[in-house]
Amino acid sequence: MRNRSLLIGFLLALGLGLSIALTQQELDPYKEAERQRELFRQTAGILPGELYAAQGEELFAKKRGPRNVSLEACDFGLGPGKLEGALTQLPRYFADTQRVEDLETRIVSCMVRLQGFRLEEIERDEVKALVAYVASKSSEMPINVVPRTSQEITMYNIGRELWYHRAGDRDMNCAICHESYAGRKVRLSPVRSPRQGLSNEWPAYRFEADKLYTLQDRIAFCYESIGIAAPEFYSEPYIALSIYMLAEATRGKNRFTEMPGFTR
């Protein structure tokens, strides 16, 4: 009888200990992401980001569009078809389009200029899969965005203006959280500054949303969460903010995470 109540007491204590451990795990977003990632590895054997990248690889190599060509001649800044490390130096200026382009915009440019698609028939999901594929060739590499041409420097300066631009009924800008209070938390989410590596995990699979988010998707999500309607995809605000953040991340000597990333 006494043994039995001891046993029950022991089990109760164990249960309490476990539930505390579980709660603590859920409260730390990084540990929770790591746990979710392992669950995917164990149950599916593959990460969702890798699936998107595989889909993108197929799209990349396939002859498509009115001109029936692949994207293998697309130049991401290192030469046609050179994908190794391509993401690390984007956004950058491209002479052929005479614009500063990020990875997403560059993919769209190539689909238009090489494959002959019309802008309005390009599907966002295809661009996202292609982003995942090209990004996968820059996994864990150092970020290397250094504005050099006048166009890149202008775009960086526009990005800095937008970074500090307070607007909306929440009176927000990017800097007030991601600069002044970097290192602290909004709810449970740790907030980083660009120098601390903000933007180094995108594109990433977000398990909370069960979707792949590119950096543009993530910036759009940020705007919406502070009550400002997000810019249209591929427009200049994304490219300006991206070059600003990634140039600052470069100065902070940051690397990309595994690509595509895995996060909440």
Q: Which residues are catalytic?
A: 222
Q: For residue 16, state whether it binds another protein (rule: CB under 8 A).
A: no
Asked if residue 221 binds another protein (CB under 8 A), the reply is no
CA angle 190, 192, 193 (to 5 degrees): 160
Q: Which of 19, 25, 68, 149 binds another protein (CB under 8 A)?
A: 149
Strand segments, DSSP code E, in the chain are 92-94, 99-101, 185-186, 189-190, 204-206, 211-213, 261-263
Judge contact between 256 and 201, C-beta under 8 A: yes
DSSP 160: H
Q: Find the binder of another protein among 172, 174, 204, 212 (CB under 8 A).
A: 172
Query: Which two structure tokens, joined as six digits, stand for 23?
Result: 């709660």
Single residue of 114, 132, 162, 215 touching another protein by CB under 8 A: 162
CB atoms within 10 A of CB 29: 16
Stretch that binds another protein, among 39-47, 102-110, 111-119, 185-193 (CB under 8 A): 185-193
What is each CA distance from 69 to 96, 104, 112, 190, 247, in whole angstroms?
19, 19, 11, 44, 34
The binder of another protein chosen from 6, 12, 61, 176 (CB under 8 A): 176
Long-range contacts of 197-201 (CB under 8 A, 24+ apart): 197/249, 197/252, 197/254, 197/255, 198/245, 198/249, 199/242, 199/245, 199/246, 199/249, 200/143, 200/249, 200/254, 200/255, 200/256, 200/257, 201/256, 201/257, 201/261, 201/263
Our finding on whether 223 is near another protein (CB under 8 A) is yes
Binding status of residue 188 toward another protein by CB under 8 A: yes
Interaction between residue 31 and another protein (CB under 8 A): no
Q: Does 20 bind another protein (CB under 8 A)?
A: no
8 binds another protein (CB under 8 A): no
- Of the listed pieces 7-15, 112-120, 180-188, 205-213, which binds another protein according to CB under 8 A? 180-188
* Contact flag: residue 236 with another protein (CB under 8 A): yes
What mask, x for binding another protein by CB under 8 A, covers residues 87 to 126? ----------------------------------------
Least separation in angstroms between CB 147 and another protein: 5
CA neighbor of 110 nearest in space, from 202, 55, 122: 122
Does 73 interact with another protein (rule: CB under 8 A)?
no
Does 237 help bind another protein (rule: CB under 8 A)? yes
- Footprint of another protein on this chain (CB under 8 A)? 23, 27, 146-150, 153-154, 156-158, 161-162, 164-173, 175-177, 180-181, 184-189, 191, 223, 227-232, 235-237, 240, 247
